[in-house]
Every structure is written in C-alpha cells, then in structure tokens.
Amino acid sequence: MLEDFVGNGVLKDQVDMLLADGWDDVPTLKMMTPEDMDLLQLSQFHRDALEIRTYLHDRSLMQYADALEKSGKTLHELLETSPETLMSDYHMKRGHVARFIDRASACSIQLPRNLNLPARVTTKVHHGVEEPEPAAPAEVEEKVKKIKEPKSTKLPKLEEKKPSSTPVPAEESPRNDVEMIYPGVKLVSGADGKSTTDISGFKSPVVLRPVGGPATVSKGIFSAAPVTPRFCGLAMPGPIREEVTQLPVLEKIMIRKLTPAYVKGNNPFKKSSAPIKLPPPTRASELWADQPTLILCLRRPGCVMCRAEAHQLYARKPIFDAMGIQLVVCLNEHIDAEVRAFWPRYWGGMVVVDENREFFKALGGGTLAKEGFITGFLLNPASKANWKRATETGIEYNLTGEGTIKGGLYILRAGNGGVAYQFVERNFGDWAPLEEVLDVCGNIQKS
C-alpha cells in the first residue's frame, strides 16, 4: 500500500500532491526518474527517502524504512555501514542484514522506451510542460529541401554504400527493454562459493504453441514448463491438453468480485473487520469486455510461490497500465483472512473468486489439475527449485487453504478477441515467463 511505503517519513506530506499527479501506487512511484522529481520539485531529502524506500521494498525490508530514513544518511552511506552497526543501531536481524547489503539481489524495473508512463504524462500536463517535437535528422531535412526545389530532368546519382569494416557477429540478439525479472529468479555460485541471485539471461523452459482453428477463432499461444521425472519416473502427473481455451468456455464462467483495484483511501478492509460480504455472481466476460485483461489464476494466496509470482507481476503495473492491460487475480476459494493478508500487500489489482473453479478446470483442459504434496513437491526437483527461488525474496507465507489445485495465467483480448496467451502451472510454483507475457501484451497494444 502507498501509505505503508511512504511511512512516517518526509514523503508522507507529499502524498496528496503525488496522487494528484498520478503517482498513486507503489510500482509507479518506484519508476520515478530524476527528471520527474525535478518537475515535481522534490527536495534532496525526498529523493534520498524515495531511494532508500525503493531499495528496501525490492528486498522486502520495509519494516526498517522509517528508522533508516530517520538516520539522515543516504542509501550509499547506509550500504557502507558495518553489519554490526546495522544490527545494533537499527535492530536489523542477521538474515536481513545479509539481504540488505546484497546489492545484486534486486534490480529496478524500467519502462520500455516505446511506452509512456501515465503518471509522467499527467504530471507534465498539470505543470504545463509540452513534449518537444523530435528534431528531424539532417538527412531528412536535406531530402525535404530537395523536394521543395524545382525538379531536375536528370536523375540524381545514387551513392554506393561501402561495406563496414567492423565485423558483425553472426548471432547477436538486441537487449529487450522489458527483460527485467523479479529478484531471486535464479541462483548461481560466485567465486567465493556463496549463492547469489542472477536475473540476467533467465529463460524458463516453455512450450510455445500457436493454436489454430476455424477462421473465425482467434489464435493464441499455449505455454507451459516441461514436467520433470519423479521418483525414477514412477510418479507422473496426468496429461494436460496443450491447447488454448476457446473463448465461449471462459465467457460462461461466473465469478464474485472480492476487492477492487487498489486506490489510496479505498480499502474496504480498513472500514470493518467483519467478513467480506460477497456480491452477486457476475459473468467473467465483463472483466475483458472493454479492455485487454491479464487473469492470474492463483493456486493459494498464502503460498510463498504464489505471492512471489503475483508480486513480480504487479510490480510491473506501470508497464501494463501504459499498454492498457487490466490486472486481475482469480482465487479458487474464498478465505476472508487470506484475502486480507494478500491484498493489497502482494497484489494491488482486482481480486475475484471462482467458487466453481471453472477457470482452473479450463486450464487443465476440462478437469482440475491436482497433485499431492509428496509427488508434486517433495519428489519434484522443479517444484523445490521454484520454492527456493520464491523464498529468496523474503516474502512471508503460510499453509492455509487448498494448495493442490494448479493454476496458471490467461491474457485475453478485449471483447470477442479471444485468448491471446495461456500459461499452465505444471509444477508447483511455475511462473509465466515475463518476457513472454510482456511481448504478448505489447502485441495486443500495437494491434
């Protein structure tokens, strides 16, 4: 929540101004650049506080934010502080100290260059700043000048381009602007033998399968991680149809809305401690009737792997906002305390419940994809690796609720556009690869 992020520091007095200019959620606030701060006329104290809180938020250490900001030190000075001082002066736990001083354990999320941050656009409008028109390159101006001149009867002589003397690598792929993966995705061993997190070059082993059909049916992409052998191959989960769910199947699903998308001052849980009063069921098709929608079908909101997946997606909310994509989490059961613990701390988007578990059946090809704890986790190295990846983030978790029904993710085009992308959780804790999700959303935006 935004209130928890700014805490009792110097940013608390700036909340109303930030909200008015569109900086109304934590992921957006963390994307603020020095140019944005200049436009908002933030002081150096505000900038230092935002830097400290962003760093702590990336590492799930927000409980120390007020104390560290109150010290008056910059983030650089705090990182140079000895572990003993951090524990004695700021009462930081030993494990938290290791996470704090590990500068490589998290990476800031950057907006792709081809997208406009909605808050940045709003801020410029409020402050009367107009976007300058890009200057035309010199060669373009020269061509325009020639066009305006009287045409000559002679054809212009074309210059022959000389081959570059610099060798071009045979295989070189450009860096993807949106290839920023949540902290703790991959563990590697450093030179000192200790495990550190590495977010570069992470690629989930997935199966991408464009699924065809009649000319009237939109094509989509099916994605899933491979299933690893368990107990010498004697225990394997049931097969799943590797096909994209057809839109009529999803349109019939009935859901109940548990929470709205988070907005400061609109927290239904703060008004009353009474159980959430469920509204009447509505058709799921209303979610994507007017805009493209990403639906994360979550296995269990208290699971550390589920919370980490939800958090790493919501952390990119400004990117999805710029693409016009709505974010929704779908639960397979309603436990009031679990919803309160999950929203909006780990997920600030809308939360709905699918009591009949129809979304989850659709992901399983018509039947619920379930697996027991022993075969699905203890005997599954992929699931244990996923659990280790999630616990590296420092996210808290519990064991409450149904945890054997596997989930997944849908990206639906607006209206009758159909399913653009479908990811199925084959091993407990599988995440839809972010580069795939963002690429699909980018293609929807372009179309």
What's the whole-number mean pLDDT along residues 216-231?
A: 73
The Cα 439–Cα 431 span in angstroms is 15
Please work out, in degrees rounded to the nearest 5, the angle formed at the alpha carbon of residue 263 by the alpha carbons of 257 and 264.
135
As to burial, measured by CB atoms within 10 angstroms (0-12 exposed, 13-18 middle, 19+ buried), residue 366 is exposed
| Predicted local confidence at residue 96, as pLDDT | 93
pLDDT digit string (tens) for 16-31? Answer: 999 999 998 899 999 9
Q: Phi-psi category of 429—alpha, beta or left, where left has phi over 0 and alpha has psi -120 to 50?
A: left
Sequence spans of domains, the chain: 2-125, 209-446
The DSSP secondary structure of 89-137, one letter per residue, reads HH---HHHHHHHH-GGG-------TT---HHHHHHHHHTTPPPPPPPPP
Please report which confidence band the pLDDT of residue 142 belongs to, taking 50, 70 and 90 as the band edges: low
Q: Is 73's pLDDT higher than 60?
A: yes
Please report which confidence band the pLDDT of residue 220 belongs to, taking 50, 70 and 90 as the band edges: confident
* pTM of the predicted protein model: 0.75
| Predicted local confidence at residue 445, as pLDDT | 87
| Predicted local confidence at residue 30, as pLDDT | 92
Q: Domain 209-446 class?
A: alpha beta
Q: Dihedral through CA 240, CA 244, CA 247, CA 253, nearest 10?
A: 30
| CB contact at 8 A, 58 and 27 | no
The tokens for 28 are: 């957006």
pLDDT digit string (tens) for 313-339? Answer: 999 999 999 999 999 999 999 999 999
| Predicted local confidence at residue 107, as pLDDT | 61
CA-based R_g, the chain, Å: 25
| CB contact at 8 A, 7 and 66 | yes
Q: Dihedral through CA 171, CA 175, CA 179, CA 184, nearest 10?
A: 80
What's the whole-number mean pLDDT along residues 241-259?
A: 93
Calculate the average pLDDT of the chain: 80
| CB contact at 8 A, 78 and 69 | no
Please report which confidence band the pLDDT of residue 242 belongs to, taking 50, 70 and 90 as the band edges: confident
The Cα 108–Cα 158 span in angstroms is 47
| Predicted local confidence at residue 424, as pLDDT | 94
**C-alpha distance from residue 109 to each of 27, 260, 312, 316 (Å):** 9, 25, 10, 7
Q: What is the 3-state secondary structure (H, E, C) of 328-386?
A: EEEECCCCHHHHHHHCCCCCCCEEEECCCCHHHHHHCCCCCCECCHHHHHHCCHHHHHH
The Cα 364–Cα 77 span in angstroms is 51
| Predicted local confidence at residue 362, as pLDDT | 96
More confident residue, 187 or 167: 167
| CB contact at 8 A, 210 and 221 | yes
pLDDT digit string (tens) for 390-429? Answer: 998 889 999 999 999 999 999 999 999 999 999 999 999 9
More confident residue, 277 or 106: 277
Q: Is 373's pLDDT higher than 50?
A: yes
Range with top average pLDDT, 110-119, 180-189, 352-361: 352-361
| Percent residues over pLDDT 70 in the chain | 78
Mapped onto helix, strand or coil, the DSSP state of residue 210 is strand
| Predicted local confidence at residue 115, as pLDDT | 86
The Cα 361–Cα 355 span in angstroms is 12
What's the whole-number mean pLDDT along residues 96-121?
A: 83
Q: Is 77's pLDDT higher than 70?
A: yes
Please report which confidence band the pLDDT of residue 169 belongs to, taking 50, 70 and 90 as the band edges: very low
What's the whole-number mean pLDDT along residues 109-133?
A: 81
The Cα 159–Cα 166 span in angstroms is 20
Lowest-confidence region among 164-173, 346-355, 356-365: 164-173
According to DSSP, residue 19 is labeled H
Q: Is 50's pLDDT higher than 50?
A: yes
Among 115, 108, 125, 117, residue whose Cα is nearest residue 24: 117
| Predicted local confidence at residue 131, as pLDDT | 59
The tokens for 302 are: 């208290």
Q: Phi-psi category of 326—alpha, beta or left, where left has phi over 0 and alpha has psi -120 to 50?
A: beta
Q: Is 97's pLDDT higher than 70?
A: yes
| CB contact at 8 A, 304 and 392 | no
Bridge partners, 424 (sequence order)? 224, 408
| Predicted local confidence at residue 190, as pLDDT | 40
| Percent residues over pLDDT 90 in the chain | 55
Among 51, 431, 67, residue whose Cα is nearest residue 225: 431
